[in-house]
Amino acid sequence: MDAAVFLYVEFPGLATISFDEFVRRDADIKTKQFPGIKSKTWLFGIDTKSVGGFYEFNSRGNAQNYVDNYLIAVANKLGVEVTYKLFLKTNTNNASI
């Protein structure tokens, strides 16, 4: 079985859009429809005003599916770039506090 992963996402080009304008409610509804999503924490950059999130998925495949089939389309619609990184959860379970 594919191991659980954390997904870090940032839309660095959204400095001119307020967090409320980002339509987070709509994004949350769509995010919940993707297979394997376990949790999501919204992030808003203090100095950068970037918008992003920290997600937990049950597998790398499901996390990549979310990036490929949702986040990239959102970035294209907003006319900004999206950056993301995947982190394997199981390697850090015992070390986390």
**Each residue of 68-86: pLDDT tens digit?**
999 999 889 888 889 999 9
- Domain boundaries, given as residue ranges, for the chain: 5-88
Q: What pTM value is reported for the model?
A: 0.82
Q: What is the residue-averaged pLDDT of the chain? A: 84
Q: Is the pLDDT of residue 93 over 80?
A: no
Is the CATH number 3.30.420.40 carried by domain 5-88? no
Measured distance CA(53)–CA(1) in Å, rounded: 25
